[in-house]
Chain A
């Protein structure tokens, strides 16, 4: 399942980061790595971007960026 498919208040675990180049590097250095747990805090009023909690802090990314991240263990 893709991170961009998650709904508000769901939790999941990251399985794979797709894409390459600047976006992938950025996602990784912000702590969104394989095995990290993410919590979907909310979607912005215009439904984009998404606010997540990962590694104890809040990070936001566009829906199209979240679509690069595969997750499982959705709760």
Chain B
């Protein structure tokens, strides 16, 4: 059966519950990506209802349709150019007056639009009564009441949308936004002018085009120029004349006056449509904020929530991380038994599976972090966090909303950078993304623990805390620096709604969490896997190495000599001797591995780069370790383990001893820790930076800036320290 297809666009203010409705309509049948050429999320989904195949597009949430912010441009262009069959404007019923500002603009475009008065239950409980029929009459738009997070009214909404789409809709002349006399005169005059001079070459309603020209809408002006050909100059000249007249008449820009008048028109509608109960109802949201943004309690409670988020991420996350670890090594060991010993086996086990393992091990932390973010966002607490933190963030040159993304950086930089999408201004987003890597992520901690533990003993904890603090301080300094140089410009407005608190739907939270995690797996996962394989290749080749010692025959000799001794020894001595034999063999194997690492391509590159690292007190082994850290910071420790011929486990005493006897000094260790803190972020983070800034330019800048800063600061510490201590 051939089902009829329709496209439906969902629009509305931020916090109107649009996303919940979208999720309810489309469930898991949604596709998340970006609008072409920008880093604004695009969501599309499908649902089959009433015999139709409906494509639902979730437009960015906006308060208006001016041509100024990227979200507004996307939303408006989609309606004008892609021409969906129907637009559903999702309105927060408790916020009717402000919401109608956007709604009336859709009405003016003369597209097929219907209103969903969402969260009708909350409005009711606040004593607000809306006469849906009257509203529908006054604006000539179908109105449906919905409760998105209880899945009520959605079917009716779709039914009405289909009805509207299929109807022969004629642009009603009477029921529309009416402006004051002078403006209406200008509009009509310009409208006729347009109709005479363009004869339909402009695909928008002539009244709407006239209005936009009077508002000096630069995008519409450009389109008129393109489409009206030679007549466009005349048209724009006419528009200019009318504009000048109105500016003179009102002593203000027409678009400002029209905004005022739109709200006046809306106020008239509200009077007829909305009745607020005189009984003083309890406003739960406001009561909650008595605590959450309280002068004394606000911050402690905020710190508690943050602590809880990290507790959840690391404590709860530790279990699945362990299972994944076990799972991966189980697969690895099983295959090790089954496969013949050859190069392909090494490639599969040490390259591919180890690579996949290093991606998979991130997953629990990522999922939990995204889930916590979804809770903050869906409940409405996120805006309170921005409200509390804005003063501090603003001093750094950032927006209050930057705080939570940056904070997440202490867990993992990748979701932190992805979370920076909540920032509206591109400059704010870019700045946040550039300084988030200085929030020392959890993968770097093992490095600090090993180095600080080896060289600073009892004071290790203090030193590590100092490192974290240094990261924070440098991010603030960098932020201020960039804000006044590269990312200069006026601050983006902070003006931000504090939406009522809502109980989030589990389904919605899970979809949020999964959407973002999927992006992590697909985009970053591929990159990490590729990086791991490359590291493996560089470490495994050249395959035939000229060893300084014939290890295999040495091992055989040791085995033979010990075994001979064991044969003739007393029973009580046999165990002790066997142990000694195993230790001796293990030592030889470790030395062999260390030499292999040294002589592989990776080792040679590291040795070539050693002169770069020498001035900051890092030897060739450290250089190699830092190089492998490009893939993932945890690998730094395991690489050091191999190179120092210690065990491959993280904080074994063997590694610490090996480090101590390698000639590294405490100052050198400190320099290395600072280098790890600051230098270029891991592959996944680099990929995230590219994705979220939408350009290679910032990605490369980030790599260059962070590595240079790392080198300079390490240099200062190493030499400055040497001078101080001398």
Contacts and interface: CB of A to CB of B under 8 A. Distances in A.
8 shortest A-B CB distances, which residue pairs?
Answer: A46-B391, A58-B498, A29-B64, A26-B493, A31-B98, A48-B391, A61-B495, A55-B97
Interface of B: 63-64, 66, 68, 94-98, 101, 256, 259-260, 263, 286, 293-296, 298-299, 383, 387-388, 390-392, 394, 400, 490, 492-500
B426 to A, nearest CB: 12
B493 A27 contact: yes
A60 B384 CA distance: 10
Interface in A28-51: 28-31, 33-34, 41-42, 44-49, 51
A47 B63 CA distance: 27
29 contacts: A22-B68, A22-B492, A25-B68, A27-B495, A30-B497, A31-B98, A31-B101, A33-B259, A41-B286, A42-B295, A44-B387, A45-B293, A45-B294, A46-B392, A49-B390, A49-B400, A49-B494, A51-B498, A55-B98, A56-B95, A56-B96, A56-B97, A56-B98, A57-B499, A59-B496, A60-B498, A62-B390, A65-B494, A65-B495
A45 B388 contact: yes
A56 B126 CA distance: 11
A15 to B, nearest CB: 13
Nearest to A26: B493
Given A30-B497, A45-B296, A45-B298, 19 more contacts: A22-B68, A22-B490, A22-B492, A22-B493, A23-B493, A29-B101, A31-B97, A33-B263, A42-B293, A44-B298, A45-B294, A45-B295, A45-B299, A46-B388, A46-B392, A48-B391, A58-B500, A61-B493, A61-B495
Nearest to A17: B256
B649 to A, nearest CB: 46
Given A29-B66, A57-B98, A62 B494 contact: yes
Nearest to A52: B498
A26 B491 CA distance: 13
B493 A29 contact: no
A65 B498 CA distance: 16
A44 B98 contact: no
A26 B495 contact: yes
A70 to B, nearest CB: 14
Contacts of B387: 44, 49, 51, 60
Contacts, number: 106
B578 to A, nearest CB: 67
A1 B496 CA distance: 23
A25 B497 contact: no
Contacts of B495: 23, 26-27, 30, 59-61, 65
Contacts of A58: 286, 497-500
A39 B63 CA distance: 21
B494 A60 contact: yes
Contacts of B391: 44, 46-49
Interface of A: 21-31, 33-34, 41-42, 44-49, 51, 55-62, 65
B102 to A, nearest CB: 8
A45 B391 CA distance: 10
Nearest to A53: B286
Contacts of B66: 25, 29
B394 A62 contact: yes
Contacts of B299: 45
Contacts of A42: 293, 295
Nearest to B298: A45
Contact of B259 (A29, A56, A59): A29
Contact of A61 (B286, B294, B298, B496): B496
Contacts of B95: 55-57
Nearest to B391: A46
A68 B259 CA distance: 18
A59 B492 CA distance: 16
Contacts of A44: 293, 298, 387-388, 390-391
A46 B403 CA distance: 15
A11 to B, nearest CB: 16
A5 to B, nearest CB: 18
A44 B575 CA distance: 71
A67 to B, nearest CB: 13
Contact of B494 (A28, A46, A47, A61): A61
Contacts of A34: 260
Contacts of B94: 56-57
A7 B295 CA distance: 14
B45 to A, nearest CB: 28
B282 to A, nearest CB: 16
Given A46-B392, A48-B390, A30 B98 contact: yes
Contacts of A59: 495-498
Looking at A29, A41, A56, A62, the one whose CB has the most chain B CB atoms below 10 A away is A29
Nearest to B386: A60
A65 B493 contact: yes
A31 B394 CA distance: 24
Contacts of B260: 28, 33-34
Nearest to B394: A62
A28 B390 contact: no
A47 B494 CA distance: 15
A28 B256 contact: yes
Contact of B496 (A21, A25, A28, A60): A60
A45 B293 CA distance: 7
Contacts of B500: 58
A31 B267 CA distance: 11
Contacts of A46: 388, 391-392
A33 to B, nearest CB: 5
A19 B63 CA distance: 20
Contacts of B286: 41, 58
Contacts of A45: 293-296, 298-299, 388
B277 to A, nearest CB: 13
Contacts of B63: 29-30
A51 B263 CA distance: 22
A22 B400 CA distance: 18
A56 B99 CA distance: 11
B458 to A, nearest CB: 37
A32 to B, nearest CB: 8
